[in-house]
Amino acid sequence: VAVIEDCSHSHGSKIGAREVGTFGDLAVFSIGGHKMVSGGLGGILLAASREHYEIACLLGNFRPRSRNSVNDDRLRNFVETGLGGNLRISPIAAVLATSHLNQLDELVATKSANARRLLHGLSELPGLAVEADGCVGDNGAWYGVTVQAGPEIDVDGLLRRQRELGLRVRRPATVPLHRSPLFSTAGPPTWASAEQARWIRALRDRRFPVAEAAYQLSLAYPATFMHDRHGIIVEPYIERTASALSLANDSASPRR
């Protein structure tokens, strides 16, 4: 079984001593608009084997790029046409992403330090179930920093109070996948095969209580301020979360 790593926004992250993107046969990083390495739109493919690399080249490119990159005799037959696709990155996106890539160590260090300070501060607040060192991997692969509230917290109420205090905390943008129309609607336009339709019907009636419960208690802190070298907004985020939690407690306690 070939392993393809979805490394979307984990540029520069490691698990233990090993870089994300080096575990599988292929790995894909996004360089979309909000990513740490961004070209506006596009991606980076890594292949562990020469064969996968050359096939990927043919899938995306015909003529010069494939002529230059594809050596395998069987695959060289296809260099004039590629395999029918034209998936080349725009040169402007490549230039922008290269500029971010050249600053990657600094970007990762800044983001990692800010996220760790935030998690550490939030871990000391009653009501949140946050581990101070709760990042997977060592450098942080965060799109947003997602934390869990304790089961006694009214998450909607907490989010409302946080927003009133000016914080941009929200529920995670991605709902549990079984709730997304793509996986719960029979016959969305792109799902052509009968087997896929059967799969969707089977999923539609299933319940996923663990995913539901995790989602119900999740709060996503924005990642944008993680890029600020001075991290000036981290402390206010912790302090105002503390205020929002204590306001929630006040309104929950019985009035005299």
Binding site for ligand PLP (CB under 6 A): 6, 8-9, 30, 32, 43, 143
Query: For residues 29 and 78, which CB has a smaller minimum distance to ligand PLP in the complex?
Result: 29
Q: Which ranges constitute the DSSP H helices of the chain? A: 50-60, 64-69, 73-76, 91-102, 104-123, 155-164, 181-184, 194-204, 209-216, 234-252
**Could you tell me if 5 and 27 are in contact, meaning their C-beta atoms sit under 8 angstroms apart?**
yes
Q: In this structure, which amino acid lies at residue 81? A: T
Query: For residues 143 and 221, which CB has a smaller minimum distance to ligand PLP in the complex?
Result: 143
Q: How far is the CB of 190 from ligand PLP (least distance, A)?
A: 15
Residue nearest to ligand PLP (CB): 32
Q: How far is the CB of 35 from ligand PLP (least distance, A)?
A: 7
Buried b (16+ CB within 10 A) or exposed e, 159-196: bebbeebebebebeeeebeeeeeeebeeeeeebeeeee
Query: For residues 78 and 142, which CB has a smaller minimum distance to ligand PLP in the complex?
Result: 142
Query: For residues 30 and 139, which CB has a smaller minimum distance to ligand PLP in the complex?
Result: 30
Q: How far is the CB of 10 from ligand PLP (least distance, A)?
A: 9
Supply 94's token pair. 């490549």
Give backbone dihedrals phi and psi of 113, rounded to 5 degrees, phi first: -65, -45
Query: For residues 10 and 114, which CB has a smaller minimum distance to ligand PLP in the complex?
Result: 10
Q: How far is the CB of 34 from ligand PLP (least distance, A)?
A: 7
Q: How far is the CB of 42 from ligand PLP (least distance, A)?
A: 8
Residue length, the chain? Answer: 256
Give Dmax (Cα) for the chain.
84
